[in-house]
Amino acid sequence: MNMNILVVEDDNDINDLLRRLLTGAGYKVTSAYSGTEAVRLLEERLPDLVLLDLMLPGLPGAEVLKTLRGPLASDIPVIVLSAKDGTRDKVTLLDVGADDYIVKPFEPEEALARIRAALRRRAALPAAEEVLTYKNITLRPDLRKVTVCGREPALTAIEYELLLTFMRNPEKVYSREKLYEEVWKEGYYGTDHTVNVHVSNLRRKLKELDGREDYIQSVYGIGFRLAGILTDS
């Protein structure tokens, strides 16, 4: 079955370019030209991936992203299209819930590679009925369900994959390069900010539901690992 991609872009030329590029690669494409239209389409049917421009008429892209990150659709990969390529701009995009970003103007092959990588991450189905636990976290890979102290955090697809990677190897210290290769399923190009921002967001969301525990530890000069159990002093 062909994967369905929702392209949310108000520029007719770019929207048409993406439609031709994606259909030529075998994907089914639905186009939206405003944030309001995008939300309506999302309410009718959830796609497998969203390409989202932030500067949209009707409803800003950030608001569309908030809709996507609701409990029903929080694991849908979102790749933001942006003309801004500064480090701070990229960090902001990741902070608002994007899984990845493509800077305009973009190379078609790079765009397709990022889309394929995002879809591979979502399509990787784990073994049925596997249950992972760590401190107050329970993770069901077969259901893609995470609970912290009995409550479900609204994790993005990338944050979920990061947590799954950590919990499958709770004693392992992961370098940023290794995390990128494990989670993004592509080669590492020194994008420390990408890894750092997603790990930071995951750490914050876990802390919001369990303030007594620190779940992710930074290992100076190396990377990250699951933190040890805290004890009362």
**Distance, CA of 166 to CA of 162 (rounded, Å):** 6
Residues 63 and 163 in one domain: no
**pLDDT score, position 163:** 96
87-95 and 192-209 helices, crossing angle to 10°: 30
Domain hosting residue 48, numbered range: 4-123
Q: Residue 122 above 80 pLDDT?
A: no
185-25-90 Cα angle (round to 5): 45
In the prediction, which pLDDT does 124 show?
Answer: 65
How many secondary structure helices (H) and strands (E) does the chain include? 8, 11
Based on the fold, state whether residues 9 and 119 are members of the same structural domain.
Answer: yes
Query: Span 79-86, mean pLDDT?
Result: 84
Decide which of 90, 123, 156 is a domain's last residue: 123
More confident residue, 69 or 162: 162
Per-residue tokens: 164:
């799954």
Residue 128, pLDDT > 60, answer no
pLDDT surpassing 60 at residue 154: yes
The total of structural domains in the chain comes to 2
pLDDT band of 65, cuts 50, 70, 90: confident
Mean pLDDT of 125-129: 55
Same domain flag for 31 and 114 = yes
DSSP for residue 180:
I
Identify residue 74 by its one-letter amino acid code.
S
Same domain? 144 vs 90 = no
